[in-house]
Structure 1
Amino acid sequence: MKNLNEKMHIILVDDDAEDRMIFEEAFSQLNSGNQLLMFQNGLEVLNYLNENETVPDIIFLDLNMPIMGGLETLREIRKNDRYRQLSVVIYSTSSAEKDIEDTLIAGANVYITKPNNFETLRDTIAKVIHVNWQFLSSGLDRDTFVFVT
């Protein structure tokens, strides 16, 4: 279990440089002290995960990316028992029911449609971090943690 003073290790995977920049700015305004790493596609983040012992607490994963998309990346993550407790947040422009359903079936814990304004993005990131922290600190089962906005 994580305690209140431990900082979270958070990753954003998104091929759009502007979306990464806006996400980073919203994240930094939270002043949480949590660590944010960013990658441009699923292959990059999988390489990072395989090369590092530290398992992140949350991955925000864009659904539609070149090289390796979000759904394929999610499936690869869920194949590895090492990442069983990792929260995966699909972060996409798509609000299609099929996309939401496919990602939840594949093992996503949270599905977020990218907000249209900065304040909503910042508040959504804060909410996901807070809800995730509750699960990390309580030891509840990740398999039952699903949140759709």
Structure 2
Amino acid sequence: MTHRLLIVEDSDEDFTAIQWALNRLNRALPLDRCADGDAALTWLQEASNWPSLILLDLNLPGTDGREVLGALRRDARTRTLPVVVLSTSASARDINDCYALGANSYLTKPVNFAQFTNQLRLTLDFWLEAAQLPQAPEAP
């Protein structure tokens, strides 16, 4: 199975860090990026290449990560997609809210690049190697 990631991230620097970390990990995965929540929801409605995993920033302009997560879980087509929230916030309220909305996991973005790379490695090893993922929904 060819895995694909959807990165919902407004920060060019954070998106570049994800690309660098994937490169360092020798993970040549197809990436799709949406810079805000509205674009992510539109992309998922129109996607022909379904992602295996979504990395979702919490604090996005416009429709934020919480709203995106809620919309994903209300939609039968996207309800089962694995979503990992990747945020700078370590607030207990943010963490609890995301799990209540259906996040599969919540990670705080480390400032240290080596820690970030290791965190991404562990996440991808679990979701793309160990976990059994749901099948992509059939197109409407």
TM-score (norm 1): 0.83
Q: How does 1:1-149 map to 2 (within 5 A)?
A: 6-133=1-128, 134-136=130-132
What amino acid maps onto 1:73 in structure 2?
Answer: V
Identity %: 32
Kindly state the Cα deviation for residue 132 of structure 1 after the two structures are TM-superposed. 0.9
Q: Would the aligned equivalents of 1:55 and 1:83 in 2 still touch at CA under 8 Å? A: no
RMSD: 1.4
Q: Distance in 2 between matches of 1:25 and 1:8?
A: 18
Task: Please list every run of 5 or more consecutive structure 1 residues that lacks an aligned counterpart in the other structure.
Answer: 1-5, 140-149
Q: Distance in 2 between matches of 1:132 and 1:111?
A: 13
Aligned length: 133
Q: Would the aligned equivalents of 2:54 and 2:84 in 1 still touch at CA under 8 Å? A: yes
- Cα deviation 1:19-60 (Å, max 9, x = unaligned): 111111112222123211111111111111111133211111
Counterpart secondary structure, 1:82: coil
TM-score (norm 2): 0.88
What amino acid maps onto 2:91 in structure 1?
Answer: A
Kindly state the Cα deviation for residue 88 of structure 1 after the two structures are TM-superposed. 0.4
Which structure 1 residue ranges, 4+ long, deviate > 4 Å from structure 2? none
Counterpart secondary structure, 2:131: helix
Task: Please list every run of 5 or more consecutive structure 2 residues that lacks an aligned counterpart in the other structure.
Answer: 135-140
